[in-house]
Amino acid sequence: MPSDPKIQKIFRPDDRTSSDIPLTESPVHAGFPSPADDFLEGSLDLNSLVIKHPEATFFARVEGDSMQDEGIVEGNILVVDKAVEPYDGCLAVAYIDGEFTLKRVRMEPDRILLVPANPKYPVIEIAAGQDFSVWGVVRWIVKQV
Amino acid sequence: MYGLCDCNNFYASCERVFNPSLEGRPVIVLSNNDGCVIARSNEAKRLGIKMGQPYYQLRKLIRREAVAVFSANFTLYGDMSRRVMSLLRKSVPAIEVYSIDEAFLDLTSVDEGRLDELGHELARTIRRHTGIPVSVGIAPTKTLAKIASKLCKQYPKLNGCCYMHRPEDIEKVLRRFPIGDVWGVGRRWAQLLEKNGVRTAWDFTQLPQAWVRQRMHVVGLRMWSELRGEPCIGLEQHPADKKQIATTRTFDRDIDDFEELHRRIAQYVAVAAEKLRGQHSICGEIHVFILTNRHKENMPQYYENQLLKLPVPTDSTLELTEHAVRLLRQIFRPGYAYKRAGVILSDLRSKSGMQTVLFDATDCAKHDSLMKTVDALNNRFGHHRIGTAAEGFEPFKMNRNHLSQRYTTDWLQIIKVKS
């Protein structure tokens, strides 16, 4: 079945779109069944690739250029998974000083660093007691070429 | 065992997920049209802000205490609720979605030795995956599970889950639990019980069964048994269709003009009728009410409502609008400033069981196909692009001066991240 082109379908994280039943195209009563029927697997769903935890997945839009050396630029869409535990070196949406920021997170024994990918920007060291949290870990980046 | 998972201060918590600077600050959420308070963070509760309190009474306090104020963003709350419910569905054998922020859990088949761990795990997972804090109560009955989840909120040390199963623990809790806070005890029963010396849930369980049955009938008896640990209320997994569909609104301003009221009523009929068709029902009654602003005590006050039993049940917006406008004409009195109005459809029945009336004047088939087309167009192009002329050309207007973004359902409003 062709999927409904409603916008909602595309951007709501949705795990109901896959099916275990192979779809068959040729009507049962037709003369020769298609030899491909037994091998049909349904179509590929991009959601199943980029969304591992539908309930925990949120989208965010990039502003600024501090990550440009990793190819992440203004307007790119981030697929953020809050279920993933932050790990050393992860790309994360962090919340610091009242705003969301995108950086690599370095976890050292006695401190946390937010590392940009653009020499114009300084590395941010998180001071003890500073208002900081990792909001979610970035799993995929959607960008138009 | 049964569980109840209740999201803490749900609407306020949703706003916090996308605005972490609100953590630790008082937050309130206002009803449609920014009329009154419908959700409060714990900090706002501590300031003495009450549920249902009109917004205008709070302006001074809000400024002094830097309270963060939000207009209800039901698109966002609905999506966050869907996420929470989905996690619950994946973790327990069955759930009953009880409201936007609460679900009962069927834990009858879960090994009791695992329940405490399961409840804590649920609270942790939901918090981490969605950002929403929840309170999970687990107990032998649904009524007790509700109480257990309230305990979680009172005692943060429980870490989001209270497993209450030993009779001596239950007794201890019930002895301190006010009878009026028990699930299903309305104001009338609370008064009746207090008059009979019942102050706590425990007092109630000590009443003789015959007394309860005589004075509070089968519903009261069920509550009594549930509090005594005997499950009487099972899980409703497929809630019945709504028995009543109401669209009622507080206006963004006072309205004294009949034409304007007429337009609003027609808009409400359109919304209600669309819901009616959405659940494949027809209605046999329509009810219209109007009322003045009761917070302006110096103004003349008026309330009137009128119910009409329809000769032939219908789901047609056209027919229902005609009836509603007739009712409005009957109850409208000039010279009053109206602040609120509503349309309620009741006596709902399944459309498929509809009996055809031989001499019905309206052409049902024609109305049917028209309504199908209208619903399809509105669905596709946004709400109320197509409506009756009675609805007027101005779209629904609501005061929503503090509306947050639709962070999870609109590409143009997703969170922005500085890089």
Encode pLDDT of B96-138 as tens digits.
999 999 999 999 999 999 999 999 999 999 999 999 999 999 9
pLDDT confidence of residue A26 = 47
Alpha helices per DSSP H over B94-229: 115-130, 142-154, 167-175, 187-195, 201-205, 209-227
Q: Check B128 against A82: CB less than 8 A apart.
A: yes
Q: Is the pLDDT of residue A4 over 50?
A: no
Give the integer Cα–Cα distance in Å for B176 and B154: 13
For A96, the enclosing helix (H) or strand (E) is strand A91-96
Least confident span in A33-47, A90-104, B317-331, B353-367: B353-367
pLDDT confidence of residue B241 = 63
ipTM over 0.90: no
State which residue of chain B sits closest to A59, comparing Cα positions: B414
Q: Which two tokens stand for residue B133?
A: 């804090």
pLDDT confidence of residue A19 = 47
Q: Is the pLDDT of residue B224 over 90?
A: yes
State which residue of chain A sits closest to B379, comparing Cα positions: A6
In chain B, what percentage of residues exceed pLDDT 90? 70
Interface contact A11, partner B, CB < 8 A: yes
State which residue of chain B sits closest to A15, comparing Cα positions: B86
Q: Is the pLDDT of residue A27 over 80?
A: no
Q: Is the pLDDT of residue A114 over 90?
A: yes
Quick one: how far is CA B19 from the chain centroid? Answer: 24
Q: Check B408 against A100: CB less than 8 A apart.
A: no
Q: Which two tokens stand for residue A140?
A: 């995929």
Q: Check B418 against A98: CB less than 8 A apart.
A: no
Q: Regarding predicted confidence, which is higher, A96 or B393?
A: A96
Q: Check B87 against A65: CB less than 8 A apart.
A: no
Q: Is the pLDDT of residue B408 over 50?
A: yes
Q: Residues B46-50: what's their mean pLDDT?
A: 96
Q: Which two tokens stand for residue A13?
A: 């994280």
Q: Is the pLDDT of residue B63 over 80?
A: yes
Q: Is the pLDDT of residue B301 over 60?
A: yes
Contact criterion met (CB below 8 Å) for B121 and B146:
no
Contact criterion met (CB below 8 Å) for A86 and A67:
no
Least confident span in A34-38, B36-40, B258-262: A34-38
Best mutation site among A17, A58, A138 for testing chain B: the one with the most B CBs within 10 Å?
A: A58
Mean pLDDT of chain B: 90
DSSP state of B382: -
pLDDT confidence of residue B417 = 96
Q: Residues B338-362: what's their mean pLDDT?
A: 77
Give the integer Cα–Cα distance in Å for A57 and A83: 8
Q: Residues A132-142: what's their mean pLDDT?
A: 96
**Most trustworthy range by pLDDT among B160-164, B292-296, B400-404:** B160-164
**Using CB atoms, which residue from B408, B409, B416 is nearest to A61?**
B416
Q: Is the pLDDT of residue A8 over 60?
A: no
pLDDT single digits (tens) B68-91? 999 999 989 999 999 999 999 999
The residues, any chain, with a CB within 8 Å of residue B181's CB and separated by 6 or more, are: B150
> Which neighbouring-strand residues pair with B343?
B247, B288
Contact criterion met (CB below 8 Å) for B414 and B407:
yes
Interface contact A70, partner B, CB < 8 A: no
pTM of the model: 0.75
Least confident span in B101-115, B155-169, B196-210, B325-339: B325-339
Best mutation site among A53, A55, A72 for testing chain B: the one with the most B CBs within 10 Å?
A: A55
Q: Residues A83-100: what's their mean pLDDT?
A: 95
pLDDT confidence of residue A110 = 85
Q: Check A55 against B21: CB less than 8 A apart.
A: no
pLDDT confidence of residue B235 = 85
Handedness of CA A75, A76, A77, A78 (dihedral sign): negative
Q: Check B418 against A95: CB less than 8 A apart.
A: no
pLDDT confidence of residue B395 = 57
Q: Is the pLDDT of residue B197 over 90?
A: yes
Q: Is the pLDDT of residue B157 over 90?
A: yes
Q: Measuring CA to CA, which residue among B72, B85, B73 is closest to residue B37? A: B72
Interface contact A66, partner B, CB < 8 A: yes
Q: Is the pLDDT of residue B162 over 60?
A: yes
The residues, any chain, with a CB within 8 Å of residue A111's CB and separated by 6 or more, are: A125, A126
pLDDT confidence of residue B47 = 97
Give the integer Cα–Cα distance in Å for B5 and B97: 10
Least confident span in A61-70, B168-177, B342-351, B352-361: B352-361
Instruction: Measure A58 CA to nearest chain B CA, in Å.
Output: 7
pLDDT confidence of residue B169 = 95
Q: Measuring CA to CA, which residue among A103, A106, A84 is closest to residue A95? A: A103
Q: Is the pLDDT of residue B51 over 50?
A: yes
Q: Check A58 against B408: CB less than 8 A apart.
A: yes
pLDDT confidence of residue B153 = 93
Tell me whether strands A124-126 and A132-142 are parallel, antiparallel or unpaired.
unpaired
pLDDT confidence of residue B83 = 97
Give the integer Cα–Cα distance in Å for B36 and B314: 34
Q: Residues A95-108: what's their mean pLDDT?
A: 94
Measured between beta carbons, which residues in chain B are less than 8 angstroms from residue A103? 419
Q: Is the pLDDT of residue B370 over 90?
A: no
pLDDT confidence of residue A20 = 47
pLDDT confidence of residue B365 = 75
What is the set of active-site residues of A? 66, 103
pLDDT confidence of residue B351 = 82
Q: Regarding predicted confidence, which is higher, A137 or A98?
A: A137
B350: pLDDT confidence band, cut at 50, 70 and 90? confident
Q: Check A12 against B409: CB less than 8 A apart.
A: yes
Measured between beta carbons, which residues in chain A are less than 8 angstroms from residue B411? 7, 11, 59, 77
Measured between beta carbons, which residues in chain B are less than 8 angstroms from residue A100? 415-418
Interface contact A141, partner B, CB < 8 A: no
What is the number of alpha carbons within 13 Å of residue B10 lying toward its C-beta?
23
Q: Dihedrals φ, ψ of A137, to 5°?
A: -100, 135
pLDDT confidence of residue B379 = 74
Q: Residues B233-255: what's their mean pLDDT?
A: 81
